[in-house]
């Protein structure tokens, strides 16, 4: 039996029904299926999974079905994008002490 090493991927879909898909650069052009039962005990629970989370998993090739992820562990949660507010416009007060051309 060949030792299959864990690889890293990103969750691209999570269904409320208990399954989802992961993408990985190591298995290009493939959506890798996973079921909630494939989550390791030492990671987040299925309802906490979100699109964008980085996970480590072991890929299994299922004949006729493609790849399936097992032994899934979240290693990085997505960081929320911070939307910076534009600074309020600074309105300059006219300065009476500055001479103008009309004076």
Q: What is the pLDDT of residues 38-50, one digit of tens each?
A: 999 898 999 999 9
* The pLDDT of residue 1 is above 50: no
Number of other CB atoms surrounding residue 35 within 10 Å:
15
Cα 84 to Cα 87: distance, rounded to the nearest angstrom: 9
Residue 17 lies in a domain: no
- Residue 89 included in any domain: no
Q: Residue 47 falls within a domain, yes or no?
A: yes
Q: Count the domains in the chain.
A: 1
Q: Is 82 exposed, middle or buried (0-12, 13-18, 19+ CB in 10 A)?
A: exposed
- How far, in Å, CA of 33 to CA of 72, rounded? 11
Residue 74 counted as domain residue? yes
Domain of 75? 38-53+62-80
Evaluate whether residue 95 is within a structural domain.
no
92 lies in some domain: no
Is the per-residue pLDDT at 97 higher than 90?
Answer: no
> pTM, whole model, 2 decimals?
0.70
Let me know if residue 71 belongs to a domain.
yes
Q: Is residue 73 part of a domain?
A: yes
């Amino acid at each position: 039996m060949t030792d299959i090493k864990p690889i890293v991927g990103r969750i691209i879909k999570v269904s409320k029904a208990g399954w989802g898909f992961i993408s990985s650069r190591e298995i290009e052009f493939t959506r890798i299926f996973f079921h909630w039962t494939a989550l390791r005990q030492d990671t987040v629970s299925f309802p906490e999974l979100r699109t964008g989370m980085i996970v480590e998993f072991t890929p299994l090739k299922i004949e006729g079905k493609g790849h399936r992820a097992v032994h899934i562990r979240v290693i990085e949660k997505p960081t929320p994008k911070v939307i910076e507010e534009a600074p309020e416009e600074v309105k300059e007060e006219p300065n009476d002490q500055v001479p103008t051309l009309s004076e």
